[in-house]
Chains A and B, each alone.
Chain A
Amino acid sequence: MNFAASPVLELTLPVWRSRFLLYVFVAGFVLLLGRAVYLQGLNNDFLQAKGESRYSRVMEVPANRGRVLDRNGEALAISTPVKSIWAIPGEAHPGPRQLARLAALLEMPQTEIEKRLADTGRDFVFVKRQISPEAAERVAGLHIPGLFQNREYRRYYPSGDVMAHVLGFTGADDIGQEGVELAFQERLAGKPGSRRVIKDRLGQTVEDIESIKAAQDGNDLTLALDARIQNLAFSQLKAAVAQNRAKAGGVVVLDIESGELLALANFPTYNPNNRNKLAGTQLRNRAVTDTFEPGSTLKPFTIALALEAGRVRPESVIQTAPGTLSIGGATIRDAHVERSLTVAQVIQKSSNVGAAKIALGLSPESMWEMFRDVGFGSTPGLGFPGEAAGKVRPFRSWRPIEQATMSYGHGIAVSLVQLARAYSVFARDGELVPLSLVRVDAPPVGRRVMAPKTAAAVRAMLELAVNRDGTAPRAQIVGYRVAGKTGTAHKQENGAYAPDKYVSSFVGFAPASHPRLVVAVMIDEPSAGRYYGGTVAAPVFAQIMAGALRALDVAPDRQIQPIELPPEGQEVKESV
């Protein structure tokens, strides 16, 4: 058969049909080519991003919060990583056995977990926050779908309730909420970074592409606080509050040379590691945020002003008989009536009449200036959240009786920290020192508020108050000369003085020959029968001061001999 002569080949088609097909194909190729150029060259961002998302991941680089250390490097607050367990309620369906194991591992009731997982209206629910990494690993071993883990940090405070008010605490997100943690949040907080990496099919990182942001650990913070002294102050305060059945109390210990806060204790307190049941009264950092009428602890300032103005000398005699003084219908009383006292004895015996008489010879303006100069009425500048400024009313509104009562610390409100700081003026030869919460390396420059001679004279008077014939024989310490002043004041309630509620305080420094520490003690509402500053607060002062001087290796400046106390019942009573 001759195929070449096939009749099919005889058929001729029009040329345009094949041409047409050719054009169609060429047009198709051009279209594809254009699309390819568009996707590869002109508009490739979208696809590139899609591709990258297959292998590259942005990983968070965690950063630690800085530690808080005491002045000797003892750790007071440390963050360590913990895990949080969270779930997607709609997807987490643990079996009954898994649920029981989970409940045991998380130490929470099974019904509670079920309740949380049943909340299908939400995409995210915490099952339990902040569990130990070991427990988290075992939870992961249960392989419950829909249950995930998160890395978080938890802050621990080894010293517990002892330094709670100084350190404060952080919330669940490691952000400071109280105390030093809040005041130094910026410095302590770490800045988490992030980096872009390539991950393989198994989820392992195979290559670092770039560091988007370097992680920055928070800085450690070295406080001025001395853990030994803080512990001593706290345990003595706690014992004193219990013994006197008091409502509250506070202690402040300052280093006179550097202005550093060595200890600050409050009672009641709380355990920052376990803040489940926390009352507002426990949280309050009273020594810093609360003010009170200080009472007789302010007398030395009045006397100092009178000495400075040349109105009196330490040996000038003031008539105090008959132990009362009436000014404009109000009467000032002395608890311990003497016919006459020298100015030094006014301090030693804490005479209200004596102080008031001296104050009435001074101008209100100069008294107001003195109070302001030693730091009353302005915040002490420690940097704590909520520092109280106290209250010193403008002198123009003072009536004579008010001026008289202010001379012995009524009608004026100060915080314990302010009071301690003000006493540093006598201890530092008339200079007011700036306070510091953190350790300072160079001694700060003080501001002169009275002549060194005046400060020395008041110091000598304050030493008299702390001997057998003064109001605070119990503030004496074996081996050291002590200077200080008691304060006993009625508490104000609803604008009137409550007859049976007192604030007992003692502020003093030692060694008197070369002062090193100021210790201020305040006991709020002692109700076990005794309420004088000399019997309630002074013994606490002595214990803390003695221990602190020993801890700091301060050389004794007095013969070591047992301290002399007046016979029972013959103590000099302070005027309230």
Chain B
Amino acid sequence: MARLNLLLLLVLAVCALGLVTSQHRARRFFGELEQEQERSRQLGVEYGQLQLEASTWAVHARVERIASRQLHMRVPEAKRLQIARPAEAAK
């Protein structure tokens, strides 16, 4: 009887320790999850900011200015235009 009781006590102690470690691990994992979620939020914010930056760089007025001033591009004159029609191109 006494031996059974001792065994049960041992089992109880192991279970208790197991509970403690699993609780600890759960907390740690939760912390990691929180951090990753925070990081995902941060990346979301950064994505928005980068999108904003991309839009700002790609503002049409700026593109047009660079095209015409730096690259000396312009719309071709009417007499220099030729239309390629799909039907003609196929012949």
- Report A's interface with B, CB cutoff 8 A: 64, 67, 74-76, 78-81, 133, 156, 158-160, 162, 204-208, 227-228, 231-232, 235, 478-479, 555-556, 560-563
Contacts and interface: CB of A to CB of B under 8 A. Distances in A.
B55 A205 contact: no
A560 B82 contact: yes
A363 to B, nearest CB: 47
Contact of A158 (B34, B52, B81, B82): B52
A561 B78 contact: yes
B48 A160 contact: no
B81 A560 contact: yes
B45 interface: yes
Contacts of B52: 75, 78, 80, 156, 158
A560 B82 CA distance: 8
B4 interface: no
A207 B30 contact: yes
User: Which of B44, B56, B60, B81: most chain A Cβ within 10 A?
Assistant: B60
Interface in B16-67: 26-27, 30-31, 34, 44-45, 48-49, 51-52, 54-56, 58-61, 64
Interface residues of B, number: 25
Contacts of A76: 55
Given A75-B51, A231-B61, A235-B61, A81 B45 contact: yes
B55 A75 contact: yes
A156 B54 CA distance: 12
A162 B56 CA distance: 12
Interface of A is mostly: mixed
Contacts of A75: 51-52, 54-55
Given A75-B51, A80-B52, A158-B52, A562 B78 contact: yes
A159 B59 contact: yes
17 contacts: A64-B48, A76-B55, A80-B45, A156-B52, A159-B55, A159-B59, A204-B31, A205-B30, A205-B31, A228-B60, A235-B61, A478-B78, A478-B81, A555-B85, A560-B78, A562-B78, A562-B79
B83 interface: yes
Given A555-B85, A560-B81, 5 more contacts: A159-B59, A206-B27, A207-B30, A232-B60, A563-B78
A410 B83 CA distance: 43
Contacts of A156: 52
Contacts of A162: 59-61
- 10 closest A-B pairs by CB: A158-B55, A231-B60, A478-B78, A158-B56, A80-B48, A75-B55, A560-B81, A562-B78, A206-B27, A78-B52
Contacts of B48: 64, 67, 78-80
Contacts of A67: 48, 51
Contacts of A235: 61, 64
A556 B79 CA distance: 14
A228 B59 CA distance: 10
A557 to B, nearest CB: 10
Contacts of A159: 55, 59-60
A67 B48 CA distance: 9
Contact of B59 (A64, A158, A560, A562): A158
